[in-house]
Amino acid sequence: MKRLNSQLQKDGAPLELILLIRTLLAGCKEISFRVSQGALAGVLGSTLSENVQGETQKKLDVISNQILKDILKDSGYVKAISSEEEDDVVPCHPDGKYLVSFDPLDGSSNTEINSLIGTIFSIAHAPQWMEPDDPSAFLQPGTQMVAAGYVLYGPSTMLAMTTGRGTHLYTLDKTHGGFLVTQANIQVPEDTAEFAINASNQRHWEEPIQNYIGDLMAGADGPRGKDYNMRWVAAMVGDIHRVLCRGGIFMYPFDKRNPKKPGKLRLLYEANPMAFLMEQAGGLASTGEGRIMEVMPSEIHQRVPVLIGSKNEVAKCLEYY
């Protein structure tokens, strides 16, 4: 099987980007080990603090964030980082060429039940004229990303990543500690009969999504003429992994509870990297109003609605808008 380095070189990634990715993944391997220890290492449960999102932090949120922050700051390749668990950008090296945004442990509420969780990341070029502590450096559309991916901590530790030359799946071989290519250039099926959405929020959805989900639920007797299955992991990284592997549509649409929060998912370190992966695998990724990767960020923790997955199903969903 092909090793990570070989695939990145084949895809034309520059040396410094390869070294940065290897550094980032070294941190993810440490997180994978901590997660696997669970209660044995005393890392489960919540802290007494909240992050900038107003969410109670799990112990593993804090640990994972610190692991990635430390390893990236020491690398010399990174000018600044932005994280779900940090109020502001974290300056790193003044001459670093890259910006890294990440959700250190997506789905961390699942740690209590030993279910799927993961790390999501995106990498972009750092404007060299900006200071490392300037948050406006991160206000770039997703089209400017040079790499994105996630590491899924499941029965095996898997990496999905793109540098703009297709989306590849890797599996961590714990016998030697490296990621090996297990599926190159994965393609998402264009049609599907699966959808993922938090149905408990239905009363808050806008009319287009209400109507779309209503037609899916009507099954073979409804206008879509076939039965659909709903799957929901409660961790974006797990739901997107399933969609990448066998097709589907994942939705976290706008809801009317808080106009100041147009969605639950954050643009820089959740929606954009997943959109990049999905588009490189032949899928679509939209806010309902336009392409996710073309949204111009206004601040580092900006939220957006997300409709992402199989090409024909996302296109059909957008017809309801």
Do the bridges between strand 306-309 and strand 284-286 make them parallel or antiparallel, or are there none, so unpaired? antiparallel
Q: Which residues are annotated as a binding site for Mg(2+)?
A: 84, 103, 105-106, 270
Burial class of residue 176, CB neighbours in 10 A (0-12, 13-18, 19+): exposed
Residues with Cβ within 8 Å of residue 207, at least 6 apart in sequence? none
3-state class (DSSP) for residue 184? coil
Residues with Cβ within 8 Å of residue 258, at least 6 apart in sequence? none
| 177 Rama class: left (phi>0) / alpha (psi -120 to 50) / beta | left
AA identity, residue 124:
A
AA identity, residue 170:
Y
Point out which residues pair with 147 in neighbouring strands.
Answer: 123
Residues with Cβ within 8 Å of residue 182, at least 6 apart in sequence? 1, 158, 169, 170, 171
- Smallest CA-to-CA distance from 198 within 150, 244, 246, 253 is with 253
Q: Which residues are annotated as a binding site?
A: 84, 103, 105-109, 198, 264, 270
Separation between Cα atoms, residue 70 and residue 87, nearest integer Å: 16
Separation between Cα atoms, residue 289 and residue 9, nearest integer Å: 36
Q: How far is CA 139 from CA 72, 76, 163, 302, 309, in A?
A: 20, 22, 20, 10, 25
Residue written as tokens 């895809």? 11
Separation between Cα atoms, residue 148 and residue 160, nearest integer Å: 8
Q: Which residues are annotated as a binding site for substrate?
A: 106-109, 198, 264
